[in-house]
Amino acid sequence: MEFLVFISYVFFAFLLFLFLNFVVKRFSLTKVQYVLFTNIFLVFLASVASYFHLNTFCDDIFIIVIFEFLIRMLYTTYLLEKDFFSKEEGVLSLYLGNVIVAYLLNQFIIRQVDMVFLNPEQLKFLLWIFIILFIYQFFYKKEIITSTEKISKKLSIADRGQYIILQYAKMKKKYGKEIQVQGNMRFLIYAIMIFENYKRPSFFRQMDYFRYQFDHVPRKQGIMQVDSKKILSDLESIEVIENKLENLQEKKKSKKNDIDISFLLKGIGKEQEEIEQIEKIYQYLKEFSEL
């Protein structure tokens, strides 16, 4: 294998790693969709390469998936400081299966044709299909958006409440067993979590982790957006805020379930506007729990 081809495989493996991270965080892919997106990426690369007659690049293009697998393993193990091989059942087999599918695609399809890219006649046919689908989707979505805007004016408050409850259910399922505090303090933890996750979603937090590897500039870390000079996972950020709030509660010398939200939030560095929003979420969660 030529050296430049090898280097190009490593480069595109890194791009594939970033691409898969984005679609997984943005769309919550199933395992089948994960494999499909990976191989669509390979087909697109092979199409461009074959168009420019870079047949050597296409011969073993599945190696990109192997390199992406290695990059993901190193990223998980050394940068996120997690055990790659102790992930939830089926994840490792997904990556290995992904490599196998990419290999079969490479051997039995990509290597068997001179041009992976569509020819002009095929493109013309697809172009008209695209135009028809676009026109249909455009008017269909316009109708839905118009109807939604009319309804949202009447249900705006309920919609915000629904979002909070949905996020609460999601966070409770994901982190509920890890949260140690009880009573009203527990609702406050969830309120902060919902607020910060809305401001800085998971995808952008992952990008912050990635950028930190290069510039080492301290940033807010984890779902709770804690100021830190090292990488914190979402769970670690929750633990940090729990400890800070409990220490502040002890200093206040209040009853265990009697919490001064404004005092506690100021103590962890929240601005007045943030305090007001988090307190509203907190109150909504309390009212919901009492229904």
Query: Using one digit for the tens of pLDDT, what is the confidence trace for 111-141?
Result: 887 777 666 666 677 777 877 776 766 555 5
What phi, psi does 227 have (nearest 5°)?
-65, 120
Tens-digit pLDDT profile for residues 43-60: 989 888 888 888 888 889
What is the reported pLDDT for 251? 84
- Listed residue (10, 12, 34) closest to 21, CA to CA: 34
Cα distance between residue 162 and residue 169, in whole Å: 11
Please give the backbone phi and psi of residue 62, each rounded to the nearest 5 degrees, phi first. Answer: -65, -20
Q: Does residue 151 surpass a pLDDT of 70?
A: no
Residue with tokens 């999601």: 170
Helix (H, G, I), strand (E, B) or coil at 227: strand
pTM, to two decimals: 0.47
DSSP state of 226: E
Q: What would the mean pLDDT of 214-233 be, rounded to a whole number?
A: 83
Tell me the C-alpha distance between 68 and 12, whole Å.
8
How many other CB atoms are found less than 10 A from the CB of residue 98?
23
The angle subtended at Cα 196 by Cα 195 and Cα 197, nearest 5°, is: 95
- Give pLDDT, residue 102: 92
Do residues 62 and 108 touch, judged by C-beta distance below 8 A? no
Q: Which DSSP letter does residue 229 get?
A: S
Higher-confidence residue of 136 and 87: namely 136
CA distance 164 to 198: 10
Kindly give, in sequence order, each residue whose CB lies less than 8 Å from that of residue 95, ignoring residues fewer than 6 positions away: 69, 72
Instruction: Give me 246's structure tokens.
Output: 């409990």
- Euclidean distance between CA atoms 231 and 216, whole angstroms: 10
Among residues 106, 129, 135, 122, which one has the least CA distance to residue 45? 106
pLDDT at 254 over 70: no
Helices (H) and strands (E) in the chain, counts: 11, 2
- Residue 120: both structure tokens together: 């002009």
What is the structure's pLDDT at 87? Answer: 53
Domain locations along the chain: 3-117, 155-289
Q: Helices 272-289 & 184-199, crossing angle to 10 degrees?
A: 120
Calculate ∠ Cα 115-12-208, nearest 5°.
Answer: 145
